[in-house]
Structure 1
């Protein structure tokens, strides 16, 4: 299972990539950097929360994992 700090770092980095992508898409679709940026920030905030909750939920699921050999 990943440590919470690892999950958070993964979420932050993933969402920074998403923020950059959504900013460009928002700009392209609206023609406005301010509106496109605002849309990207809202999307990133929602995506960040969803990603963290999703990762933490899956961290508690044993299905599909192999036990690590100790020793």
Structure 2
């Protein structure tokens, strides 16, 4: 699982790429460097936050993961409850062969 700092670093590197792209497109469309910079500055903040939230949400979704170790560590997965353990012990105790005295 990625740490929060790794997700944040990925968000920043991706946004730098995206912001440069947005600024170039804005410059071509508007012809104004000032307006292109303003659009890029606004976009980098909002989309960085959105990417971070999106990335963290997807970490909670096991869909498409090949590594099942992550899914096995999820709370409630493959962990027998105390009640189940108690029933197993009772069942196994009842199944034991009677002792020959």
Q: Which has the larger radius of gyration?
A: 2
Aligned pairs for 1:13-32 within 5 A: 13-32=13-32
Cα-Cα RMSD: 1.1
Q: Could you list the per-position Cα deviations for residues 41-63 of structure 1 after superposition, in whole angstroms to 9, with x for gaps in the alignment?
A: 11121111110000000111122
Name 1:46's counterpart in structure 2: 46
TM-score by length of 1: 0.86
Q: Which runs of 5+ in 2 are unaligned?
A: 70-101
Residues paired across the two proteins, number = 68
C-alpha separation between the residues in 2 aligned to 1:62 and 1:24?
Answer: 37
Counterpart check, 1:61 vs 2:61: yes
Deviation at 1:64, TM superposition (A): 2.3
Q: Which runs of 5+ in 1 are unaligned?
A: none
TM-score by length of 2: 0.63
Q: Could you list the per-position Cα deviations for residues 9-61 of structure 1 after superposition, in whole angstroms to 9, with x for gaps in the alignment?
A: 10000000111111111111111001011011111211111100000001111
C-alpha separation between the residues in 2 aligned to 1:61 and 1:9?
Answer: 21
